[in-house]
Amino acid sequence: MKDEYDFSGGKRGAVVAATTGKTRITIRLDDDILEWFRGKVEAAGGGSYQTLINAALREYMESPGSELEDTLRRVIREELRHAS
Angle at 21 between CA 15 and CA 27, to 5 degrees: 75
> For the chain, how many structural domains are there in total?
1
**Backbone region of residue 13 per phi and psi (left: phi > 0; alpha: psi in -120 to 50; beta: other values):** left
Task: Determine which helix (DSSP H) or strand (DSSP E) holds 80, and give its type and residue range.
Answer: helix 67-83
Q: For residue 11, is it within any domain?
A: no
Looking at the domain assignment, is residue 17 inside a domain? no
Domain span at residue 72 reads 31-83
- Residue at 25 is within a domain: no
Question: Per residue of the chain (84 residues), what is the pLDDT tens digit?
Answer: 888 999 888 888 777 777 788 888 899 999 999 999 999 999 999 999 999 999 999 988 887 766 778 888 888 999 998 887
Residue 3 is assigned to a structural domain of this protein? no
Does residue 61 lie in a domain region?
A: yes
Global model pTM greater than 0.85: no
What distances in angstroms separate CA 37 from CA 40, 58, 62, 78, one per listed residue? 5, 15, 20, 29
